[in-house]
Structure 1
Amino acid sequence: MYTSDDYWLTRPDVATRLKIPIKTLAKWGSEGVGPPYAKMGRFCRYKLSDVIAWEEAQYAAVASND
């Protein structure tokens, strides 16, 4: 999903947003379980809209298990 307010976040940006270590985010990326990202050269970048969608999916998964 793309919005006019969408922009790219760095791995440290996303880790700060989620309040998790950067290494955890990197591990999730290698396991394919974290938010989707794009490789730009040697850098990982996350689209804000993708991160928000991933966060909402995590919340929905927990809420449906309650």
Structure 2
Amino acid sequence: MTRYYTTAEVAERYRTAPSTVRYWRHIGYGPKGVKVGRRVLYAEAELDRFDAEMARQQAEQGMRWAA
């Protein structure tokens, strides 16, 4: 079964403020959330996808600096 996280839990995972997570959602950055009633929830698989994307981007930037 898929686990869903609240905005506060996502903020804790990324060591940032909940307002930052809401801003990311507003500008189309970060993990994609789904609206359930009045709440926005984030699937664990989506958080994992975002983590992998961030790791890939950091690896690319590291390769650019090494070249």
Cα RMSD between the aligned structures? 0.9
How many percent of aligned residue pairs carry the same amino acid? 23
TM-score relative to the length of structure 1: 0.87
Which structure would you say has the larger Rg?
2
Q: How many residues align?
A: 62
Note the C-alpha offset of 1:49. 0.9
TM-score relative to the length of structure 2: 0.86
Q: Normalized per residue, which structure has more helix?
A: 2
Note the 1:19-34 alignment, pairs <5 A. 19-34=15-30
Query: Which of 7, 11, 32 is 2:3 aligned to?
Result: 7
**Structure 2 portions without partners, runs of 5+:** 63-67
Q: Which has the higher contact order (CA 8 A, sep 6+)?
A: 1
